Amino acid sequence: MHWQPDPNLRSIPKLYGLIGYPLSHSFSRKYFSEKFAREGIPDSQYELFPIENIERFPELLAAFPNLHGLNVTIPYKQQIIPFLDSLDESAAAVGAVNVIKFSGTQLIGYNSDVFGFESSLLSFLQENCATPGHALILGTGGAAKAVVFVLQKLKIPYSIASRQPLDGQMSYEEVHANIERYPLIINTTPLGMAPKVESCPDLPYHQLKQGHLLYDLVYNPESTEFMQRGLAQGLPVKNGLEMLYGQAEKAWEIWNTPAAPSANH
């Protein structure tokens, strides 16, 4: 079923929303609807725009001149870039956009995943009085790119594991042989995400020892199989919920702060 613009939304003074496909459930709409109600933010509404093809993006813009900001999710975080006028430094470095700022006639792309992950990771390390050592990133998608950007910024060395490794990446066989070298393990894959909650990355969990930290970007369920297996070894674990809240608040800040772009394309 093709998405059709709801003309009633044109009467909302400040319209925000999420583009992606499909959008069966959305953290963002619930989060911002509750935020608007809780903080008494007037004349604002957050909607879902499940456009089945990124080529329909200009149609969305034409339908709703009252748009004040958009979030971007799978599969359009990279496909959206040619439609934007410029990119913030983090979005340019990561190569993925999850926030669009409307600045006059200009559309500027940002990546608030970077902010959300950085603040969440730093609190995780601080809570456990940990110096991270060498990190292992599981997965190579857009979320992994944001994680790489943050680790580079924080000067934390890292390796990347993939089921189909490219140059410079590790196979899971190599991970199994060297798991003790990576005290910080970050899952950026969707393994363990609802509804397939029984799945998890292929790791030798029985070899994990004190000093290992497990961070899962998945937030639904709140305790993934990856995390449960870490807990069974007595290890600190953290999910992606704090990152999610952090990136959402950063998006709101971006939409409501005058800012100049720092990287063009």
- Known catalytic residues? 77
List, in sequence order, every residue forming a beta bridge with 48; answer none if it has no partner: 18
CB-based contact 242:120 (threshold 8 Å): yes
Closest CA to 149 of 125, 185, 189, 121: 121
**Distance between CA atoms of 91 and 219, rounded to whole angstroms?**
23
**Distance between CA atoms of 85 and 96, rounded to whole angstroms?**
14
CB-based contact 110:101 (threshold 8 Å): yes
**Distance between CA atoms of 176 and 229, rounded to whole angstroms?**
15
φ/ψ (deg, to 5) at 67: -65, 135
**Distance between CA atoms of 197 and 84, rounded to whole angstroms?**
36
| DSSP state letter for 85 | S
Tokens of 84: 């934007």
| 4: helix, strand or coil | coil
Instruction: List strand residue ranges (DSSP E) for the chain, in order.
Output: 14-19, 44-49, 67-72, 86-87, 99-103, 106-110, 135-138, 158-161, 184-187, 213-216, 237-238, 263-264
Tokens of 192: 């363990």
